Every structure is written in structure tokens, then in C-alpha cells.
Amino acid sequence: MTEAELYTVYKGVYVPTHLHPAESLKFYEEFSFRPDDIIIVTYPKSGTTWMQELVPLIMSGVPWLEVHRAYILNLEERPSPRMFATHFHYNMMPTSFFKVKPKAKVLYVMRNPKDVFTSSFHYYGMASYLVKPGSQTEFLHKFLEGKGVDGLYPLKC
């Protein structure tokens, strides 16, 4: 399948339509952050799950803010401090993220881009909701040009 068949362009970045239908992106846009919220921000395949396990040894059930089931989990009603995860870039954050004072705490995780590329290449090969990666060379060009899911790999914070 092609990018047009599997992805939605959200704020200039491909996101899998299967995980991010219109209602979940609407929920994400309207989500209200609190000053004591904790947001784990990672590029895919950069240690997200690892961070979700390390940080919240006492907390459980860390939801993804932008995926299709987030809007049915009553996240607004969760007691503080809340913890969420996202792969969305800084410029994709909802308006409330920039308005909450003091700012919510952000844990930004980066991983060696070579490792991210290798992990992504294999993940694309097995995930049914992603375009098949093609050869490593083809996938490398897409990865370096930011034409895959989640856009260009961030080389700086």
C-alpha cells in the first residue's frame, strides 16, 4: 500500500491513519495540559517503551495522547500527576501545552539515528498499518528525507 492509502498528513508529518483517525486528532488538539503533567516525547523506535517503564514505576497505564483510543479514556478526569506519551513533534503539540503555567515536565528521549533507522526498517517490515520499507537503501532515503511516518528525525532538541 502507498503513503496516501495508509497515512494522514498532520501538520506536515505523515501519521498512520489507523492509529490517528480524525476524532483522535481532534481530541488531541483540544486536550488540556496541567502544570504537573509529565509527557514522554520520543521519535519512534528511540526508547519510548523503555522510558514508560523506567519513569513510572509507581504509575501504570501510560496512554498515548494522539492515538484513537485516547479520547475514550477520560484522561481529563485522571488525578494528578498524569503521565502521557507522544511521538508528535514540538510544533504538533496542542495549544494548551503552550498555555499551561508552569509548563508540564517533558522527558525528551533521543537515540542514535543509526539504531532508530535499523529498528524502524524492521518494524515497517512487520507492521500492517505501515507502508512496506522496500530495500534498506530505499528506506534510508525516505528516512533521511523525513518522508516516512513521523517525519524527519530530530537531530537537535
Is 122 in the active site? Answer: no
| Chain-centroid distance, C-alpha 78 | 21
Distance, in Å, from the CA atom of 103 to the CA atom of 34, rounded to the nearest integer, reads: 8
* Confidence (pLDDT) at 28: 92
Query: Domains (ranges, CATH) in the chain?
Result: 3-110 (3.40.50.300)
For residue 85, which amino acid is it?
A: A
Q: In 3D, which of 31, 55, 52, 33 has the Cα closest to residue 42? A: 52
Q: At what angle do helices 136-145 and 113-126 cross, to 10 degrees?
A: 120
Residues 20, 87, 89, 122: which is the catalytic one? 87
Mean of per-residue pLDDT scores for the chain: 87
**At residue 107, what are phi and psi to the nearest 5 degrees?**
-105, 110
Containing H/E element for 113? helix 113-126
Q: In 3D, which of 139, 108, 145 has the Cα closest to residue 123? A: 139
Residue 79's pLDDT band (cuts 50, 70, 90): confident
145: pLDDT strictly greater than 70: yes
56: pLDDT strictly greater than 80: no
**Residues 10-41 pLDDT 10s:** 999 999 999 999 999 999 999 999 998 888 88
Select the more confidently predicted residue: 63 or 141: 141
* Confidence (pLDDT) at 82: 87
In the chain, the N- to C-terminal Cα span, in Å, equals: 33
Select the more confidently predicted residue: 68 or 60: 68
- The answer to whether 39 touches 81, Cβ cutoff 8 Å, is no
Residue 121's pLDDT band (cuts 50, 70, 90): very high
64: pLDDT strictly greater than 80: no
- The answer to whether 33 touches 96, Cβ cutoff 8 Å, is yes
Distance, in Å, from the CA atom of 22 to the CA atom of 10, rounded to the nearest integer, reads: 10
Q: What percent of the chain has pLDDT over 90?
A: 42
Select the more confidently predicted residue: 48 or 64: 48
